[in-house]
């Protein structure tokens, strides 16, 4: 039933942020929990219902915090555990849940566990990692950061052996075939849930479950069993806790991570395939690639959900497109080598890729909120922030939040050299793109986002319902409908700069039904279940079917 909020993740609005670059509360140049606490009302007013915190744990910071030295701590640059708990309490008071990155595929090589493991074969932590005398010929394949790493195995002088690292060599993989490691990971989950988190974004899930390189693989014959155990544990401790998984695989493989038909593994999986096809649709000004993805996307278990997104904190990965398709997207949205990364993705944000074309940017976010699933925003998307290509690698999109056109974009009073990350320069910098100038401007992107979020929350059909891609004869337009408990919402999106006209057939309508426009207002009559609708350049429309006597309160 969509009328109950028990399955809160089904139609949440998730907002991902890095405490380090959000707001500096103590003036030292680094964002912190005190700063974030001051901005909770901003997120609440926008309509965010769940905050996803990127890693905030102690770290040497060689992979922006995805290299952890203490799973039970808070990076002192971001504040104390007390500050974290104060923030959690404040968020809860506003009805906002908080989840955090769970990065347990690996640790930092500075982690005391790894330091102990390498010190001696007799160390109690030796088997917490994956060691070999020689890199095996049949180990796992695929290097994640091919520009910087040449192998998945690194020789450690002190240990006298090679260790497995899926990501950078300073991130040794934990050995999840070791039951002691599995117990410790469960303890980490229990700890943060107890402090007030409502779940986790689980980093690198397929790699976490992979046991190819580990000698103890017999101890964990079915790695999915482990995911089921994690989920069961969480549910026992706190029924509403979620696991939102980073699984970038073809749809049938991703489906396995939801578990059985009742969904006993990940609560949510990101829709990486739909995201990549969205960019292909944008590049081609054709709805077909995205429509096909929606048709092929498997139906998630009843209580599970797909998480949809336009951009995240990493490169915009296009790894699941064919070489030619990827090249099309590169040509359209990131033709320069400096915009590309790892040969598979773009280190840009949407507004710059679309040359600041507001009609088009608005259309994309309208899609995000009307596509079936739970939308996940990356901080700054709501105001149209872009990247700073002067910053290395993926960090180009992780620049400070632009609050105002003041010093450092209002992020921090510190000297610009002291900032944890440089502020975007140029056209998309704080002088033109910031919260203060948009917050009360009815035509701003931020106001548009707020409207979309409100409508999305008012239309549970979109996230909960059965959806169907509607056929018609305008290739540039995606039309889909969502049905739930007798309610019907129809959304149309025009991928082209040319205006379009679409004639649709809607089955199951009564003679007196009409369609009310949820964005522009006004209504369209329906004749014999058919209607003709117009869309402007990159136009979008959301329509709700109203029965005779029904009203829609905006
Ligand atoms: C995930 C994160 C990425 C990180 C990597 C290693 O892919 O999204 O940012 O570098 O895992 O933890």
Closest ligand 1 atom, residue 166 Cα: 6
Q: What is the maximal distance between C-alpha atoms in the chain? A: 79
pLDDT tens-place string over residues 34-54? 999 999 999 999 999 999 999
CB of 203 sitting under 6 A from ligand 1: yes
Rounded Cα distance, 399 and 21, in Å: 6
CB of 204 sitting under 6 A from ligand 1: yes
CB of 255 sitting under 6 A from ligand 1: no
Whether 322 has a pLDDT exceeding 50, the answer reads: yes
| Span from the CA of 65 to the centroid of ligand 1 (angstroms) | 9
Which carries the bigger pLDDT value, residue 508 or residue 91?
91
Question: Is 203 a residue of the active site?
Answer: yes
Least confident of 85-94, 220-229, 331-340, 486-495: 220-229
Structure tokens given for 30 = 């680094």
327-336 average pLDDT score: 98
CB of 103 sitting under 6 A from ligand 1: yes
CB 491 within 8 A of CB 502: no
**Active-site pick, 67, 246, 387, 461:** 246
Whether 3 has a pLDDT exceeding 60, the answer reads: no
pLDDT band at 213 (very low <50, low <70, confident <90, very high): confident
5-19 average pLDDT score: 96
Rounded Cα distance, 284 and 328, in Å: 8
130-144 average pLDDT score: 88
Rounded Cα distance, 402 and 120, in Å: 49
Nearest CA to ligand 1 atom 12: 66
**Active-site pick, 63, 127, 154, 203:** 203
CB 531 within 8 A of CB 503: yes
| Span from the CA of 492 to the centroid of ligand 1 (angstroms) | 34
pLDDT score, position 1: 47
CB of 210 sitting under 6 A from ligand 1: no
Best residue for ligand 1 mutational test, from 164, 203, 313, 393 (most atoms within 8 Å of Cβ):
203
Closest ligand 1 atom, residue 168 Cα: 6
Rounded Cα distance, 290 and 282, in Å: 9
- What is the DSSP pairing of strand 14-17 with strand 50-53? parallel
Dihedral sign (CA 322, 304, 13, 389): negative
pLDDT tens-place string over residues 117-127? 999 999 999 99
CB of 314 sitting under 6 A from ligand 1: yes
Question: Of 195, 222, 230, 169, which Cα lies nearest the Cα of 87?
Answer: 195
Q: Is 366 exposed, middle or buried (0-12, 13-18, 19+ CB in 10 A)?
A: buried
Closest ligand 1 atom, residue 106 Cα: 12
| Span from the CA of 501 to the centroid of ligand 1 (angstroms) | 43
pLDDT band at 214 (very low <50, low <70, confident <90, very high): confident
Question: Is 28 a residue of the active site?
Answer: no
Whether 505 has a pLDDT exceeding 70, the answer reads: yes
Backbone angles phi and psi of 537, in degrees to 5: -60, 130
Q: Cα 359 from chain centroid?
A: 23
Nearest CA to ligand 1 atom 9: 314
pLDDT score, position 217: 77
């Amino acid at each position: 039933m969509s009328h109950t909020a028990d399955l809160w993740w089904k139609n949440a609005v998730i907002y991902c942020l890095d405490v380090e670059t959000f707001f500096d509360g103590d003036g030292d140049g680094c964002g912190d929990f005190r700063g974030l606490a001051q901005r909770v009302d901003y997120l609440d007013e926008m309509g965010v219902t769940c905050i996803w915190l990127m890693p905030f744990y102690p770290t040497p910071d060689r992979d922006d915090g995805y290299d952890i030295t203490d799973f039970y701590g808070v990076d002192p640059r971001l504040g104390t555990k007390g500050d974290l708990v104060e923030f959690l309490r404040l968020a809860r008071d506003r009805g906002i849940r908080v989840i955090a990155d769970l990065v347990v595929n690996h640790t930092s090589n500075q982690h005391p566990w790894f330091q102990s493991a390498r010190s001696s074969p007799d160390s109690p932590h030796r088997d917490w990692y994956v060691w070999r005398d020689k890199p095996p010929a049949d180990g796992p394949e695929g290097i994640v950061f091919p520009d910087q790493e040449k192998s998945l195995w690194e020789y450690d002088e002190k240990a006298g052996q090679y260790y497995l690292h899926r990501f950078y060599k300073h991130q040794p993989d934990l050995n999840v075939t070791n039951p002691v490691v599995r117990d410790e990971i469960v303890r980490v989950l229990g700890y943060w849930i107890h402090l007030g988190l409502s779940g986790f974004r689980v980093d690198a899930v397929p790699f976490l479950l992979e046991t190819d390189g580990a000698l103890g693989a017999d101890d964990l014959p079915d790695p999915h069993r482990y995911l089921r155990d994690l989920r069961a544990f969480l549910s026992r401790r706190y029924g509403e806790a979620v696991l939102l998984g980073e699984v970038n695989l073809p749809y049938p493989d991703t489906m396995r991570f939801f578990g059985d038909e009742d969904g006993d593994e990940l609560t949510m999986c990101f829709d990486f395939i739909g995201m990549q096809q969205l960019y292909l649709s944008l590049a081609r000004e054709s709805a077909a690639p995205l429509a096909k993805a929606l048709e092929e996307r498997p139906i998630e278990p009843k209580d599970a959900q797909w998480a949809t997104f336009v951009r995240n904190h990493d490169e915009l990965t296009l790894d699941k497109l064919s070489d030619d398709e990827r090249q099309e997207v590169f040509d359209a949205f990131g033709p320069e080598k400096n915009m590309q990364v790892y040969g598979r993705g773009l280190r840009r944000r949407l507004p710059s890729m679309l040359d600041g074309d507001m009609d088009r940017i608005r259309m994309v976010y309208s899609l995000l909120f009307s596509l079936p699933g739970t939308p996940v925003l990356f901080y700054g998307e709501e105001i149209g922030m872009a990247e700073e290509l002067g910053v290395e690698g993926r960090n180009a999109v992780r620049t400070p939040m632009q609050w105002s056109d003041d010093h450092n974009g209002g992020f921090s009073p510190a000297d610009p050299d002291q900032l944890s990350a440089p502020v975007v320069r140029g056209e998309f910098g704080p002088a033109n793109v910031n919260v203060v100038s948009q917050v009360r401007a009815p035509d701003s992107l931020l106001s548009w986002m707020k409207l979309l979020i409100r409508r999305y929350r008012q239309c549970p059909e979109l996230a909960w319902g059965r959806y169907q891609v509607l056929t018609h004869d305008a290739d540039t337009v995606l039309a889909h409908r969502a049905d739930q408990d007798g309610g019907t919402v129809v959304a149309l999106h025009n991928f082209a700069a040319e205006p379009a006209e679409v004639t649709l057939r809607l089955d199951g309508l009564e003679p007196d039904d009409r369609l009310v426009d949820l964005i522009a207002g006004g209504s369209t009559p329906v004749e014999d279940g058919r209607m003709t609708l117009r869309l402007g350049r990159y136009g979008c429309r959301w329509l709700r079917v109203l029965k005779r006597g029904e009203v829609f309160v905006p």
